[in-house]
């Protein structure tokens, strides 16, 4: 198992999911992402879990990734950033949709399964015209 192609495949799939102005695997804070560079998507490797297996069985890993979505509506102060972020969130979900036959998203055969898991943290405008969604993704890898 080689990690980098897995993260690269996830990033390629998600960065092409919608009309993002900015995408990067290097996380930037929204205050460092000018309004003209939004909507934006950032991928952040959070942590990795090794799943214990019986002797002689291949290792299993779960990679935990956060996807940060930013949207700014400063020119339209009465527009909630969520109105921009919700379709982007939907696009991320669609990009990770499982195969209809296998029921899994395998990132082009690189992993066993990749899925959205857990609570999506949202700030859909409490920060004013800046909105932020953080989507948790898990990736199961059998080595």
Cα gap 77→63, rounded to integer Å: 38
8 Å CB contact between 9 and 43: no
Mean predicted lDDT score pLDDT of the chain: 94
Alpha helices, H only, 46-135: 82-95
Q: Where are the beta strands (DSSP E) in 16-112?
A: 22-24, 40-51, 60-72
pLDDT at 110 over 70: yes
What would the mean pLDDT of 50-57 be, rounded to a whole number?
A: 89
Cα gap 143→15, rounded to integer Å: 26
Task: Find all residues with CB under 8 Å of 97, minimum gap 6, and list them.
Answer: 105
pLDDT digits (tens, 9 = 90+) for 65-96: 999 999 999 877 788 898 999 999 999 999 99
pLDDT digits (tens, 9 = 90+) for 1-30: 899 999 999 999 999 999 999 999 999 999
In the chain, what are the domain boundaries?
Answer: 3-142
Domain 3-142: assigned CATH number: 3.30.70.1700
**What residues pair up with 22 in beta bridges, in sequence order?**
40
Task: Find all residues with CB under 8 Å of 1, minimum gap 6, and list them.
Answer: 59, 61, 141, 142, 143
Q: SS3 of 140, please?
A: strand
Q: What does the pLDDT read at residue 127?
A: 64
What is the percent of the chain where pLDDT is above 90?
82
Q: What does the pLDDT read at residue 15?
A: 97
What would the mean pLDDT of 109-128 be, rounded to a whole number?
A: 90
pTM for this structure? 0.93
Pick from 80-94, 97-111, 116-130: least confident = 116-130
């Amino acid at each position: 198992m080689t990690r980098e192609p897995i993260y690269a495949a996830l990033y390629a799939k998600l960065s092409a999911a919608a009309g993002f102005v900015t995408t990067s695997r290097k996380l930037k804070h929204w205050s460092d992402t000018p309004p003209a560079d939004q909507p934006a998507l950032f991928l952040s490797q959070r942590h990795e879990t090794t799943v214990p297996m019986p002797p002689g069985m291949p290792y299993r890993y779960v990679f935990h990734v956060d996807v940060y979505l930013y949207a700014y509506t400063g020119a339209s102060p009465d527009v909630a950033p969520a109105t921009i972020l919700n379709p982007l969130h939907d696009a991320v979900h669609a990009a990770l949709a499982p195969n209809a036959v296998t029921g899994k998203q395998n990132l082009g055969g690189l992993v066993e399964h990749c899925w959205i898991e857990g609570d999506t943290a949202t700030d859909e405008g409490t920060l004013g015209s800046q909105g932020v969604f953080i989507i948790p993704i898990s990736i199961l890898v059998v080595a």
